[in-house]
Structure 1
Amino acid sequence: MTVNELEELLYTTTESEKYHLAHPDVLSIRYQKIAKTTYNSEEIYLFRCEDLLQNHNICINKDSRYTSIPLHLHTIIEFNYVYRGAITHVINGEEIHLNTGDVLILDTNTPHEVRYIGEDDINMDIVMRKCFFTTHFLSNLSSQGIVAQFISHILSDQTNSKHYLIFHTENDLLLRTYIQQLMCEYYDLQYRRSEIIDAYMVIIFTHLATLFQKNTLNRYSLNKMNLTIKILQYLEDNFKTATLLTTAETFGFSTAYLSTYLKKKTGKTFTELIMAQKMSQACFQLTNTDLPIYEIANGIGYENLGFFYKKFKRYYGMNPQEYRNRTMNRI
């Protein structure tokens, strides 16, 4: 399927949309078959998507236009992408306004509703199993270096406290292209391949993390956040030679202040951050190169191969060769 064919499909009036045009302000008859659950002493709809997912990790659906979606919750993760127009969600009584290109990820069992969706509004609803989200987004992100691990920690905290994530992407072109390719693959019923769909989701998640790092850090204390990122980036670039003293001198701090600052902001000591970066670099080399393990160990500062094996196994619960074999089996 081409992008032109995809957009023709998305903009075509569906049978559900024809019903809503003919019956304004009336819920679809499908709601008669949807179970309800009690939330805050109120009965709301319970959307179970297990039947839609079947043996797949994700399912993609366009929300019907010319109607609203009443208060409900999902038993799975919901990934909303505004393909065109503007969409308003209501979560815990708060209106969340999204424009073209914006993303809203909702955790399982998060009650929400969607305001009226007009003719010019296209909202794509991608539902997925929570294990797929955590494995391919947060876990994948946390293995890409200490800066990415720090961003992953922020995202995890935000998801746990609010039960949703918002990405105002300013209609990022790359993200739009990735999502278009994902949908082209998904809607091509003759040639659809689950492994390619899963791969696109990994790319989308990783790109969202990059956008979060670049564009949404102002939701936190921007100056302090930028300082933390700068220090972590310095450690990523200089992990083989950086010491607490040289790092403190680089940023104009005392060693005591820097040590306390890093522990407070990242939850890790200076030594733990250096170790995390060494292990992340080792994982990258094991997964993406054919270098002998002793060369990888030397490259990250371990001249004693046995000591490297011991550290790696303590960190990941398996030795480097076992890690390489496992990641190769996933490809």
Structure 2
Amino acid sequence: MKAELLEKLTPITEEERRFLDGEKNIDRSIYMEGQGDTVNSKKLLMDGKLITVRPHTRFVHFPEHSHDYVEVIYMCRGSTTHIINGTKIVLKEGELLFLSPRAKQEILPAGENDIAVNFIIMPAFFQNTVQMIGTEQTPLHRFIIDVLTGTNSSSSYIHFEVSDVLPIQNLVENLIYTLIYGTSNKRNINQSTMGLLILNLINYTDRVAGENDDKIVLSVLRYIENNYRDGSLTELADRLHYDFTWLSREIKQRTGRTYTELLQDKRLAQAKFLLRNTGMKISDVANETGYDNISYFHRLFRGEFGMSPKKYRDSCK
């Protein structure tokens, strides 16, 4: 991270000074309403704002809590230790931890040289991100967005080990800089930067840390993303060294859709992209997306989108 930003984030705050002077517990009134254990966005966000950034509070144990917003933690220097839904996560320099509103988080005390920032983000902020991904949202895209916004029922956090990915580091620093120093068109810039960040992170889902069930789902979705034309669940099960029946059941349980449905989602998303952005014959589009039977492709496309491939292409002109 650039020295200018680190210098801005390093000074000890008044809250941290109290901990250094002997205070053992957080002041709940800074974060929460009443006796609940949910950190309230109204305590941290100015009225009308959808995103802000604040330095991570050091020197204190933060007991288990949840949030009514999406939290993104970026480790600028050093490390911090988090217990997320009972799983210990050590966040290291350059790494990102996304927590949906469903996540339960406990934080162990950080030292003076452990510098992190917390992005406080209302789910509505991600609407622009969804628009940037576009109408061809693949199952992989949807999974990431659903986790971040808390609409995924089986997952509530993602830990990205991307300290060596320069574009991602630059985008995070740009976001921090704009939120701290401000600029004209700040909201549009922040939403566009977050959209670019998510799009880049989607390309690095192989950097998701841990050995939890999400890694299995992401492996499946990456396989479909790259092998939608001729991939098969049999080949995937062999590649991942899982029993075919177990993997099929796990996919359905974790995503709410079968492998075949996920594959079809990706194929049709790709077909829409080709119809809108190329002059390929419709028969070639069908073949390119894994459909050898052109009649079946037409029937499937019409059933999914309420119009023929030709009508869809014409509507995009």
TM-score, normalization: structure 2? 0.69
CA pair 117-276 structure 1, distance change in 2 beyond 3 A: same
Q: How large is the Cα RMSD of the aligned pairs? A: 4.9
CA separation of 1:119 and 1:133: change in aligned 2, threshold 3 A = same
Asked whether 1:104 is paired with 2:97, we answer: yes
Percent identity between matched residues is 20
Determine the C-alpha separation between the residues in 1 that align with 2:315 and 2:62.
45
Choose the corresponding residue for 1:209, options 202, 225, 246: 202
Find the residue that maps to 2:162 and give its secondary structure.
coil
Q: Is contact 2:6-2:76 (8 Å) kept?
A: no
Find the aligned partners of 1:270 and 1:28 in 2 and give their Cα distance: 46
Matched residue, 1:280 = 269
Choose which of 110, 113, 121 in structure 2 pairs with 1:120.
113
Aligned length: 301
Code of the residue aligned with 1:280 in structure 2: it is A
CA contact (8 A) 1:45 1:73 kept: yes
Q: 1:119 aligns to what SS in structure 2?
A: coil
Could you tell me how far 1:163 is from its partner in structure 2?
Answer: 2.9
Contact 1:78 1:127 survives alignment (8 Å): yes
- Higher radius of gyration, 1 or 2: 1
Give the aligned partner of residue 11 of structure 1: 10
Distance 1:163-1:3 versus aligned 2 partners, 3 A rule = same
Which residue identity does 2:40 align to in structure 1?
F
The one-letter code matched in structure 2 to 1:232 is I
Contact 1:285–1:296 (Cα < 8 Å) also in 2 = no
Q: Which runs of 5+ in 1 are unaligned?
A: 39-43, 326-331
Separation in structure 2 between the aligned mates of residue 154 and residue 45 of structure 1, nearest angstrom? 21
Q: Which amino acid aligns with 1:301?
A: A
AA aligned to 1:282 is A
Amino acid at match of 1:276: D
Find the counterpart in structure 1 of residue 285 from structure 2: 300
**Offset of 1:222 from its aligned partner?**
8.6
Letter in 1 for 2:10: Y
Q: Deviations over 1:147-167 (max 9, x none)?
A: x36965996999533533333
Do the aligned partners of 2:75 and 2:95 also contact (CA within 8 Å) in 1? yes
Change (3 A) 1:252 1:90: closer
> Once the 2 structures are TM-superposed, how far is the Cα of residue 203 of structure 1 from its aligned partner?
2.2
Over 3 Å counting, the alpha-carbon distance change for 1:273 and 1:93 in structure 2 is closer
Residue-by-residue CA offset, 1:18-56 (whole Å, 9 max, x unaligned): 4444x3334566736841344xxxxx3542347716434
CA distance in 2, matches of 1:94, 1:235: 32
Task: Confirm or deny: 8 A CA contact 1:158 1:165 kept in the other structure.
Answer: no
3-state SS, counterpart of residue 116 of structure 1: coil
Deviation at 1:279, TM superposition (A): 2.0
Cα distance in 2 between the residues matched to 1:222 and 1:107: 17
Partners of 1:169 and 1:275 lie apart in 2 by 30
For 1:310 and 1:109, locate their aligned partners in 2 and report how far apart those are by CA, in whole Å: 39
1:165 aligns with 2:158: yes
Q: 1:232 aligns with which of 209, 213, 224?
A: 224
Read off the aligned partner of 2:11 and give its amino acid letter.
Answer: T
Change (3 A) 1:181 1:284: farther
Assess if the C-alpha contact under 8 Å between 2:59 and 2:110 holds in 1: yes
For residues 269 and 50 of structure 1, what CA distance do their matches in structure 2 show? 42
Contact 1:87–1:115 (CA under 8 A) maintained in structure 2: yes
Shift of 1:121: 0.8
